[in-house]
Amino acid sequence: MKKVFAAVAAVLLCASASYAQNFRDMFRSDAKGEIEYGVRAGLNISDITGKYTGGGMSVKADLKSLAGFHVGGVVGIPITNGFYLQPGLMFSSKGARDVYKDSGEGWSEKSVSKMFPVYMEIPVLASFRADIVDNVKLHVNVGPYFGIGLGGNVTGKYEWTEDGQSGSGKSDPYPLFGKSDENKERGNMQRFDFGLSFGAGVALWQHYYVGLKYDLGLVNMAVKDLANSVKYHNGTFAITLGYNF
């Protein structure tokens, strides 16, 4: 029996050593990597999760996703085999839609308002990289991002029908960032955002990059005066294309 255990242990040890060597070989091309520079652009599918509390009630905001964009650049700084620090600078549009519908006998109405903020963001990501096959390298990226709202509006449109007649129109846009008061209408959103970014992609022939990521906002976007009763958080799924120099 001891001989059987010894034989099994020897096999497992050899297998572990072989696996470890193969794992190290995946990172062989990054052993003495150089600083990389790249550009990125792509499609955002964003949403804002919201919740209103007060008076013993808690109601979730029923907001819909909104398409946007991101564009910017990244720098890959090699730290050790297969591990890079990847800071960047991005301009990213996010937001959500609020859709309201109602109807009755002989009438119906629908309104759609859009929150469309544009951010300047600084992601600081840990980037793990491994060779899959020749000319294909896997990237796994995770880390925080910091954002500041550059601008954005709340826009709206509506349509109605009643007794065989119909109509439509648009409401006047107003800024998303800032607190409303009796003199001006605002979206009651603060400019600062912070969250975590998770993503993965592949680099093809060292230069071309295709990836997916999700940015999870951790900061309540509501202005300070409303933060106790209103919770808003950004969430963005993105498809990214890029080129590394």
Indicate if 119 and 239 belong to the same structural domain: yes
DSSP classification of residue 58: E
- What is the domain extent for residue 53? 34-244
DSSP classification of residue 48: E
Indicate if 74 and 19 belong to the same structural domain: no
Indicate if 87 and 20 belong to the same structural domain: no
CATH classification at residue 87? 2.40.160
Low-confidence ranges of the chain (pLDDT < 70): 1-33
Total domains in the chain come to: 2
Indicate if 115 and 9 belong to the same structural domain: no
The alpha carbon of residue 211 and the mean position of all alpha carbons in its chain are separated, in whole angstroms, by 12
Q: What are the start-end ranges of the E strands in 14-56?
A: 36-54
Indicate if 172 and 148 belong to the same structural domain: yes
Indicate if 61 and 124 belong to the same structural domain: yes
Q: What's the token pair of residue 98?
A: 């609020």
Indicate if 73 and 11 belong to the same structural domain: no
Indicate if 24 and 76 belong to the same structural domain: no
Q: Are 192 and 147 in contact (CB under 8 A)?
A: yes
Candidates 93, 44, 68, 42; CA nearest to 243 is: 42
- Beta carbons within 8 Å of 183's beta carbon, 6+ residues apart: none
What pLDDT score was predicted for residue 33?
65
Indicate if 79 and 194 belong to the same structural domain: yes
Indicate if 142 and 173 belong to the same structural domain: yes
pTM: 0.80
Indicate if 7 and 118 belong to the same structural domain: no
Indicate if 71 and 182 belong to the same structural domain: yes
What pLDDT score was predicted for residue 104?
87
Using alpha carbons, list the distances in angstroms from residue 103 to 107, 111, 161, 168: 6, 12, 9, 15
